[in-house]
């Protein structure tokens, strides 16, 4: 009888400890997280304006997706870096400015909502200014926040390249 009570007590304690220890505490999203994300966005814009595609890539989680305006979704850091390389070279993107509207989160997930402006100076093309909106979803991986999704929407219609002049006969 004593053995069965001791066994029952041991099982009860083990189940209780497992139940308590098995649930991970979720860190709350706080002011420090919002400040870290805001700083990261400003550093991202600085890397963009410096045309530092390698640095830009460090702000993304490995499985990140980019949903640029008027284009297909890109998945993975290499594809995202390819987009930004084309953007800052071929398309001549400069002067990116991002203005925050809201940073909110819960636990390891957050979103950044804002607006952007930038200049596009394609080689041999017409310079124009773009503006629009962003929703960026971030995940805290260890001590750092990383972009998991970047969604951008231009307020302007897409620029359609001019038709080539007909060949002279």
Question: Where does the pLDDT of residue 3 fall: very low under 50, low under 70, confident under 90, or very high at 90 and above?
Answer: low
Domain span holding position 127: 27-154
- Give the pLDDT score at 88: 95
> Which has the closest alpha carbon to 40: 122, 126, 112?
112
Q: Is 143 within a domain?
A: yes
Question: Where does the pLDDT of residue 4 fall: very low under 50, low under 70, confident under 90, or very high at 90 and above?
Answer: low
- Give the pLDDT score at 14: 47
The CATH number of whichever domain residue 35 belongs to comes to 3.10.450.50
pLDDT at 164 over 90: no
Q: What is the tens place of the pLDDT at every residue in 84-121? A: 999 999 999 999 999 999 999 999 999 999 999 999 99
Whether the model clears a pTM of 0.85, i.e. scores above it, the answer is no
- Tally the domains of the chain: 1
Distance CA 18, CA 75 (A): 39
Q: Is 15 within a domain?
A: no
In Å, how far are 50, 159, 163, 164 from 167, measured between CA atoms?
Answer: 40, 24, 12, 9
Q: Is 9 within a domain?
A: no
Q: Is 100 within a domain?
A: yes
**What is the full DSSP assignment across the chain?**
-HHHHHHHHHHHHHHHHHHHHTSPPPPPP-HHHHHHHHHHHHHHHHHHHTT-HHHHHTTEEEEEEEE-TTS--EESHHHHHHHHHHHHTTS-EEEEEEEEEEEEEETTEEEEEEEEEEEE--TTS--EEEEEEEEEEEEEETTEEEEEEEEEEESSPPPPPPPPPPPP-
Mean pLDDT of all residues in 23-40: 87
Q: Is 137 within a domain?
A: yes
Q: Is 8 within a domain?
A: no
Mean pLDDT of the chain: 87
Q: What is the tens place of the pLDDT at every residue in 33-78? A: 999 999 999 999 999 999 999 999 999 999 999 999 888 999 999 9
Q: Is 66 within a domain?
A: yes
Asked whether the beta carbons of 133 and 68 are under 8 A apart, the reply is: no
């Amino acid at each position: 009888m004593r053995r069965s009570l001791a066994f029952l007590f041991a099982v009860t304690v083990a189940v209780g400890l497992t139940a308590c220890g098995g649930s991970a505490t979720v860190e709350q999203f706080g002011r420090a997280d919002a400040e870290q994300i805001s700083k990261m966005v400003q550093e991202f814009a600085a890397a963009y304006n410096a045309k530092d595609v390698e640095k830009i890539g460090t702000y993304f989680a490995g499985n990140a997706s980019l949903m640029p305006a008027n284009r297909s979704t890109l998945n993975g850091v290499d594809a995202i870096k390819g987009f930004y390389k084309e953007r800052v070279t071929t398309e001549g993107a400069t002067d990116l400015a991002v203005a925050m509207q809201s940073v909110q989160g819960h636990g390891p997930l957050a979103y950044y909502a804002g607006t952007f402006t930038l200049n596009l100076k394609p080689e041999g093309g017409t310079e124009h200014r773009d503006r629009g909106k962003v929703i960026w979803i971030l995940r805290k991986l260890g001590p750092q926040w990383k972009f998991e999704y970047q969604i951008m929407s231009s307020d302007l219609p897409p620029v359609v390249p001019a038709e080539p002049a007909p060949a002279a006969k």
